[in-house]
Every structure is written in structure tokens, then in C-alpha cells.
Structure 1
Amino acid sequence: MDCIDTIIVGNGPSAMILSFILHGHIPYYQANPPHPDPLLHAKLLQNPALLQADVNPLTEHFAASRLSYSTQALPVNVLLDTLVRPSVDVEELECVTNVEWRHEPEKAVPHLVFGDAACAGGQWTDNPMPASWDIQTLSYASMLSLPGYSFADHYRAVTGKELPAFTRPSRQETADYFRRYPGAVHIGDVFRFNQTLSGISRTDQGFYIRSHQLHCKHLVLATGIFTEVLQPSAMLQPLRSLDPVPSLSLLVVGSGFSAADVIISAPKDQKILHAFKWDPEARPSPLRGCHHQAYPEYAGVYRLMKRAALAASPGPPKRGKMRRTTSTPFLETRKWEEVYEGLPNLEFAGVEMKGDHALVTFRQPDGQTLVRAVRGLVYATGRRGTLKYLDPALLAEVLGQTDADPTVTNQSLRAKALNDMEVAPDVFVIGSLTGDSLIRFSYGSCVQAAGKIVGASSGQDRARISSAHTSRPSSSSVGVLRGLDGHDVHPAGVSRPQGDEDRSVLSTISERVLPTGLWKWVRSWWNVK
């Protein structure tokens, strides 16, 4: 049976960063120019090797710093983010990195990267909602960039032009960048696509992957928290067999970015019946944090939801809010009063199929019911991750409980990741499994895991890099850039000129998760380039 030092499960951005390091590209602090935080600069001058960085003393002053450090992400992730992009929030393309990637082949570690996606990029290659691939990401291109081949490099290679500052690439452009990344930085030899691992168990020598009859010494979990789309109840399932038509309402369920993407992408004359949760105090929609100038479409959908919630609440309407809603440019692109109806906080009471449409009964909070005719359903209430590829014993070890549910959110391993990315002996988590789902915050977990793996492989003592134990508490405020670049519905814990190859990959992945008829509807108004 084959044996390899390290196996990475998942082939998304964090897996690519870790593979880049394990190929022998080692990060060091680059002191010229010095980091804008003089105290951090002084500390790193004494020990510039970031694989051996001691996060506690390096980050203990962050809370009192004049610089704006994130209080939401893990300290190790904040540390690497500020070193990779010291002033990205204000200078973006002019930002000069303080990380030097030195190629040291003697520190390379044999490894393989397995993912069930058809190409590199993980969930970025997938579009499980009928939304246009032309929708822009919430992050700027520089915040999506991976080491050795930035998005700006990719843009230059594809278009022959320089990337404009503060570019928000489309999801199609982002997926293409990730697909090309392994080849661009010469790490593609270790990637295995369309591969689903299962039956991973611990052995005396490390781990055994039953599905592929492989042994390894180190196991890295990089499957993220967005692998499985939440499914509608049995009552609503028949609605998915109906192909949408503009004259009848398409039922969209969800209060976040995925639901908003569907509404934004729909034909201008498509009627939308939008059912969503509305609790701005206890569980606000993530759309609330979208500024109307930076994210006009998302801000517009949020205002439609707010208007519907105000109309449904007792008391006189707040006309001032209504006037601001109609003044938003995005909301002037359609006759929303004719095509959109928002139904906040209603329960589904029944579905009666009527041939080419269905009658859906909703129960209001006061017990009264209302009936709407619909044709088609998009259920966008969120995604969750899963560790079902681990056997029960190893799953219990990783999650710290027996009879553990393999379903995971951003809180499932957060407490363990706060102390160390090694959540069980020789088992590491990286990327969104640490609780930080933005790509910009993936570097820290990857560097920390690599430090221990490289150290163990070279026979040296375990690297000292560790997360700070005195992390700031998580805020209850809504952040815009959450989830899969913010494209998630509920915060976890609450519960391209590309060519035929690209089109075939995206088509294959999308059609295996959506009803065929719904994708035909999508293609009738989405002009696939």
C-alpha cells in the first residue's frame, strides 16, 4: 500500500496555499520596506522565519495598536494577513508585501491534494444556485490572491493589461484564476481532481484512507464549511420540478447573499416571491452591512426586504425609508412593485400542485394564512460543511465528542483552532474550518500547519507557531465579507474569456446539483460567454 507524508483533503484556496508551502516555498519577514507597525517590525527583525513565529508575543499589542487589526479573525490569521498585505485596505494595488517566499527545496514535504471538485478551487468551481457567474465577488482581487501568482498576475497574463485598482472580479474570473493557479506556480503534480476520500482512520503509523488504500503520517482537513447546500423540506420538494416562467412567481427562500444573487440574476420581468427570516436585532441578514455605493445590488435587495418587513409590521408606514429605497439606482432597473413580493417570517403551511404551477399556503405570525401561486423554487438558506469522510473514532477525536455529528459550521472547531491548528495528533485544519472563511485569512492557518509538518518531516523539533490564547471576543455585529466571500445565507453558529474547457467544467458541476429544467431557465436569460 502506498504511503505519503501528508494528505490534504480539499482542493480550495487554503489547500493551494499549504501545497505551495509544502513544495518548499518558505515565508520570511521582509523588512524592506518595514511594516507600518513599528513594534511588529522590531519583533520580527529578531526572528524573520514565519514558520517558527510565536504568535502570542507578536500579536499581544494588536488591540492597542493605532493600526486597524481585525478583532474577528484568529490572531495567527490576522498576523499573516497584515504581513502579506500591510495596507491593502487603503492602498490595494500599491500595497507592498512584507512576506518573502524563499524556495528551499530541502524543506519540501511529499504530499497529495484530493478534492471532489473537477478542478482546483474547491467550492469556487461550484455554483449551486441559479445565479449568474458574472456577479462580482465581495472581496477585492488582491484579497483573493494566493502566493507566487497573484490575481493581478493572472489578469495580466489573460488580458495583457494591468489590473485596475479596487477590482471586484466576477465569480467566473475568480474560478478561472484558481483553476489556473496550480499550473502557474508548478504545484499541479500533487492535485487529484474528482476524487472523494472516505473511511479515513487512525493507525499506529499515522492514517489509513480506505477508499484509496493510502497511508499518510499527517492529515490536513481543508474541506471548508460550504460543501453541502441545505435542502428544502419534503413539503417543498415538488416545487423544484417546476420550470420558472416570468408570469408566475419564482419562490426564493433565504435572507442572505445566495438568495440575493438569485434575485439580482433573474430576468427583469421575472416575478419573485421572496420568503425570508427578518430579525434585525437578534439575527440580522448579512446584507445589512452592504453599503449602497460599494454593493448597490445587495443593498438594494436588503432595502426591498426591509420595505416588506415594514409593510408587514403593525403601525403606520415609515415613508422616509420608502423614499430612500426608491432612490437607489439598482432599484430603478426594474418595476419592483410589480415583480417582487417579500414575505417575512411566514411559515410554510401547505403545497398543492396544480399541474404547471402550485399553490403555496403560508401561515402568518398571527395565525392567518395566505395563498400564492408559484412556479419554481430556489432554496437558499445556507450551506454547511461535513467531515463524513472520517471514520467515527477519528471524527470523535477531532470534534472532541463521541457520537459526533459530521456536519460542521464555523464554530465547530473554532475553540480548538484558537489554541492550535493541530486539532488532534497529526490532524490539522486550515481555511474556513478554523472559523475564518475569508481567503485573506487563510494564510495564517496554512503557515501554522506547515510549520509543524515541515518541522516533523525534517526531524526538527515541532515549530513553535501557535495561535494567541487571548483572542478578542467575537462581535455580534454583521460583517459584510462572511461566508464563501460573503456568499452564504446564515452566519454559521446560528445554526472569462476562458474557452470551451472552462464552460464544460462549470456546466458539468452546476448541472449535477440543480434540476435540469431550472438550469435551462437560467441559460435562457444568462448569456454564457
Structure 2
Amino acid sequence: MQNMFEIDDNDVIYKDVVIIGNGPSGICLSYMLAGNWPYYTGEPHPGDDMLTARLRFCTTSNEECDTPDDVNTDVTFNNRHQCSKSGISRTQGGGLACSTRCKLECLSSGIEGRGGGRPLALLMDQLQHPCVDAGLDVPSLLDWVSAEEHLEHRIVDHVVLGKGQPGGAWQSMDPNVLTISLSRWMSLPDLDLRQWEKLVEAEQLQKSVLTAESDVYARLEKLNVCKASSRVSMGTVAAYYKDYVHRKGLTQYFRCGTTVTSVRPNSDSPESKGGYNWIVDGYENKNGKQFRYRCKRAVLATGTTDLFNHLGISGENTNRQWVTHDLNDLETRLGCLVSEHGKDSTDEQIPPVLVIGAGLSAADAIMAARFRGIPVLHAFRNSLNEWGKQTAGRITTSYDRLQWLPDSIYPEYHKVYEMMADGGTNYPLYKSLPGYTLVSLSENCEKGNIRRTVTLSAPNGQLHTFPVSIAAILIGYKPDLSYLEGGGTELGKFANKPIDSKSNPIEIDDFTYEVINAPIKGLYALGPLVGNNFVRFVLGGALGIVAHILCTANT
């Protein structure tokens, strides 16, 4: 574990659960730990009759949770309280949050879809967004009931730690770029993003309009028409996540502006006998004040976009004035490049920008450069079998991230991949270098002028040198797990290898989300760290963790 320090025992804070990471995963889990539980509405699933049958059987069974010894509650247990949002008595079995492992396995059986294959992720996606992959916009099959509405709901004492504002990495993304996912896929429980947009619009209208009251209500009525699901800006999503925490009363659980330095088992302290088996250390970013939590359970929800991947080649880290791994930083540099050369400069006067990578960030970089009239050299990994045909259709099947995206919704990305297939013959300001590998980056001063060059190796091994203005190496991200011993390498599917959301996620139990290779029990992980890389799939992890906490005794 990293950056361990001594702290007065009087300053130690005790919690049942400490969540490291305040992005969508942490927000969803906090919402459920705060006593907001999902219930099946009783409506049939439009595309899965067997799932409907399993849901109706499981939600009317008498299987109950055992009352755990290790969960503190902020509510008193009274007589059973009947909720009235649907015709089904949802007190039986405590809803989905109080499901046993057997029930969750039954409900999840046979469901197919995306999201890394985690059964609970697929189950909750089918309930929250029925038939979404078929293009249908069907209402959710979940009702969310709070502890105030149902007095038997348990509120688990917890805290959510995050470096920035609620929303995690979404708060640092380019606010003008559109999301890959549709707006409804970005939604958190019980407040669809589209509903939130209408709500904010209505509130702004009420504040600004000075006309007659009747006119106000007439205009508000028009906002009740549900918006179609479409892509939205990153800035809208970031604002939604931040506001969601406030609207749902979760602010009391969030401690933002903090950096966690260590998460380790507490095996030799007297407090561990009371179930506080984990220690979480960190500091406040503004003043450096250190803190320590002792908790019964720790949850890793920090995502996988903390650090940029590097090639590890000559000049990559020594030429930071013109070499970047950050798309946002590249946008700033492109603006400065245009200002530096003047508005009337031609593409022959501005050396090209080198873009390395074939993912969405690389595509965004290419579009950003061409929009500003700056030429682009684009190098990416290549297979002769994949790129033998110069057709856009070949492109869309070569990259699984775009394989299922309709052209009508994502025209800009399909255009970039058409350019990659074409090689640049029919597209000005773009030259494709398929199969080329970046070897080195160098900067020399010739006759008082700074000349920046890159050397790439062609598929046949021949070296080529190109002058460039900027080199953008956009080859993905990796998580920062420096707060774990050995960077968490022992926790992955493949031991002693870095954690990666695609090739080496943290190995967990599919139905409890407990980390299998943790030194002791009580460590969980969810979200991209376990391969659930889209927001629409994080709810399954939250359900698994909450169900395990609620339905197991102290171990």
C-alpha cells in the first residue's frame, strides 16, 4: 500500500462502507445504500417472456434476507409498509435489493447482451432499458422506493471519496464532444437524463419568464413531451451527474476534493474484531489535511481513465511541448497553432499533426485538426486481412466499438473510418499510415528554426521521417491503482499484470462483486474496473454489492 502515515486514533472515522470513486458507479451504489431500492413493476418484458416469468415468480416468493449483524441502520423497523406505486405487493422478498444469490442467479440466467458478460449487469440493463439494443425506447421495468416510503429499507452508513466533483472523469472531459452512448444510456436510477433536462429547462423558465401565470403553465405543459433519446454533450452529462447527487439527497455521503493514498486490510488492530477490517487513508486536495477511515467494506469504483497509456519510445516524455496524450490538451494546442500561424496560413505552411491510435479519441483528434485546416498524419495498427478492401463496410466490422453503431447517429466516426480505409486519396488534409509504428520523436534547431520530426517504421520495416507540429499519442487509458499494494496487479484475472478494463479486469464474484483475490473479505469492485465499461451496465454491480451487504451476516 502507498503513502501510509500515522494519524491520531481520535481522528479516525468509522463507516460501514467506503466507496473510492465518485463517478456513475459510486453514485449508483450510494443511491442504493441510502435506502433507495429497486422493485419490479410487474409489467411484462417486451422481448423476453422467460425473464417476465422469472421476475414474477421471484418477486412473489417468500424468500427473505437474513438481518445482517454488520450493518448499521438509520431507520427503525416498524410494521410492514405496503408501497402503492404498482399493483404488486413489493414488500415480499424486500424487492431486488434484498435478493439472495440464488434468486439473482435465477433472474440472470439466459440473458444475452453486451457489457462484458457480467450477468447482473445484463439483468439490470434489461430491466432499466428493456430492448434498448433493438432500438426500442420502452419505459423502465423498475420502480425505485426510498426508505421514507418503505420503513424496512436499511440505510447503510457510507462515504463516497472522489478527487473532483460528483461525476468523476466526466467532469474533466471536453464538454462540447458528444457522447457515444445515447442519452437514456447515461441515466442514473429514478431520474432519466431526458427528464432531468426538461426539469432544468422548466426551472429556468420559471425563474426568467415575467409573463402571466397562465402563460407560464401553458409553456411548461409543452415541456412534458418526452424527448427522443439522442446523443448529448459531455458537459450536459457532467452537469447531470453533479446535480443528481444534490437532487437525490446524497450530498451528505459525498466527500469530494480528496485523494486516496492507501486501501489496505486491518488485520492486527483491535478494531478489526468489530468488523472494521479495512483502512482507507487519504488527504484533502486543498489543504493537504490527512484522514483515515476504518470500514467493514471497501469498494473500488475509480474507473479506468486516470492515466494515459504511453508507448515508451525515445522522445515521448522529453518533448512535452509538442507531444501529448490528452485529447483536451490537443484541442488547446491546435487553437494555439492556428493563432501562431495566422488565419490566412495554408496547410502547406503548417506542418501536419501526427495522430497515433484507431479509437474514438484518435477520431476526435482527426476531426478537430481538419476542422481547423491543419493536415493530419494518422498511424494505427493494421492487419492486411482487415484493410485489404477499400470500403467503409470493411471498416465498421474491423472495430468492435463501432460495429453496432448506426451510421445515422454516428456519421462523424464513420466518416473518419472511411478516411482510414481510403488512405487519404479522396480526403484533403489527411494521410493514412496503416500498420506504421512510431519509433522516435526528436526536435532540432536548424538556422534558428525549431524542426520537430517523427520517425515511423512501415510494415516492411523501412523507416520514414516526417516533419510535424504536434504529436498526439491517443492509445487509451489505464486506471491509477497506486493506492493498492503492487498497484492492484494481484487482483486481476491474470495475476502480476496491470489491471485493464478489456484484457485484465479485476476478478470478482459475478453475483456479489467481491474481489476474489483480495487478501481478506470485504473488498468489492464495480464499473470499468471489472469490465462494465458503459454507464448503462454499472447498476448491476451496485445491486450485487447492496444485496450481498443486506443479505449476509457478519463474516
Please say whether Structure 1 and Structure 2 have the same fold, judged by a TM-score greater than 0.5.
yes
**2:105 matched residue in structure 1:** 56
**Is the CA contact (8 Å cut-off) linking 2:314 and 2:441 kept in structure 1?**
no
Structure 1 pair 351–443 and aligned structure 2 pair: CA distance change class (3 A): closer
TM-score, structure 2 as length reference? 0.70
**What amino acid is the match of 2:379?**
A
From 110, 127, 145, the counterpart of 1:83: 127
Say whether 1:167 aligns with 2:230: yes
Instruction: Give the deviation of 1:369 after TM superposition.
Output: 2.6
Say whether 1:209 aligns with 2:280: yes
Structure 1 pair 376–397 and aligned structure 2 pair: CA distance change class (3 A): closer
Structure 1 pair 43–350 and aligned structure 2 pair: CA distance change class (3 A): closer
In 2: Cα distance, 1:280 partner to 1:58 partner: 44
Say whether 1:9 aligns with 2:17: no
In 1: Cα distance, 2:407 partner to 2:536 partner: 24
From 117, 137, 142, the counterpart of 2:179: 137
Structure 1 pair 113–166 and aligned structure 2 pair: CA distance change class (3 A): same
**2:193 matched residue in structure 1:** 151
Structure 1 pair 222–159 and aligned structure 2 pair: CA distance change class (3 A): same
Instruction: Give the deviation of 1:434 after TM superposition.
Output: 1.9
From 157, 160, 166, the counterpart of 1:113: 160
**Is the CA contact (8 Å cut-off) linking 1:113 and 1:192 kept in structure 2?**
yes
**What amino acid is the match of 2:160?**
V
**1:29 matched residue in structure 2:** 40
1:73-132 CA deviation, whole Å, 9 max, x = no partner?
311111111111223345655x2211111112641101000111x2111111123xxxx5
Superposition pairs of residues 295-334 of structure 1, within 5 angstroms: 295-308=410-423
Structure 1 pair 192–426 and aligned structure 2 pair: CA distance change class (3 A): same
Describe the SS at the equivalent of 1:273: strand
**1:102 matched residue in structure 2:** 145
Instruction: Give the deviation of 1:224 after TM superposition.
Output: 1.7
Give aligned-pair identity as a percent.
25
**Is the CA contact (8 Å cut-off) linking 1:22 and 1:454 kept in structure 2?**
no
In 1: Cα distance, 2:545 partner to 2:188 partner: 17
**Is the CA contact (8 Å cut-off) linking 1:288 and 1:302 kept in structure 2?**
no
Superposition pairs of residues 265-344 of structure 1, within 5 angstroms: 265-266=368-369, 267-279=371-383, 284-286=398-400, 288-289=402-403, 290-308=405-423, 336-337=427-428, 339-344=429-434
Instruction: Give the deviation of 1:208 after TM superposition.
Output: 0.9
Describe the SS at the equivalent of 1:361: strand
Describe the SS at the equivalent of 2:130: coil
**What amino acid is the match of 1:302?**
Y
**1:43 matched residue in structure 2:** 54
* Bigger Cα displacement from structure 2, 6-15 vs 371-380: 371-380
In structure 2, runs of 5+ residues without a counterpart are 1-11, 60-94, 203-222, 283-290, 323-332, 339-349, 387-396
1:26-67 CA deviation, whole Å, 9 max, x = no partner?
11111045665332222222332212052332233436xxxx
Instruction: Give the deviation of 1:4 after TM superposition.
Output: 0.6
Q: Give the alignment's Cα RMSD to 1 decimal.
A: 2.8
Describe the SS at the equivalent of 2:378: strand
Structure 1 pair 217–258 and aligned structure 2 pair: CA distance change class (3 A): same
In 2: Cα distance, 1:50 partner to 1:229 partner: 38
**1:190 matched residue in structure 2:** 253
Structure 1 pair 363–166 and aligned structure 2 pair: CA distance change class (3 A): same
Describe the SS at the equivalent of 2:541: helix
**Is the CA contact (8 Å cut-off) linking 2:178 and 2:234 kept in structure 1?**
yes
In 2: Cα distance, 1:171 partner to 1:21 partner: 25
In 2: Cα distance, 1:34 partner to 1:351 partner: 56
**1:439 matched residue in structure 2:** 535
**What amino acid is the match of 1:273?**
L
Say whether 1:361 aligns with 2:455: yes
Structure 1 pair 166–453 and aligned structure 2 pair: CA distance change class (3 A): same
Instruction: Give the deviation of 1:150 after TM superposition.
Output: 1.7
4+ runs of 1 displaced by more than 6 Å? none
In structure 1, runs of 5+ residues without a counterpart are 64-68, 312-321, 327-335, 463-529
Structure 1 pair 399–274 and aligned structure 2 pair: CA distance change class (3 A): closer
Say whether 1:346 aligns with 2:436: yes
The count of residues paired between Structure 1 and Structure 2 equals 421
**What amino acid is the match of 1:412?**
N
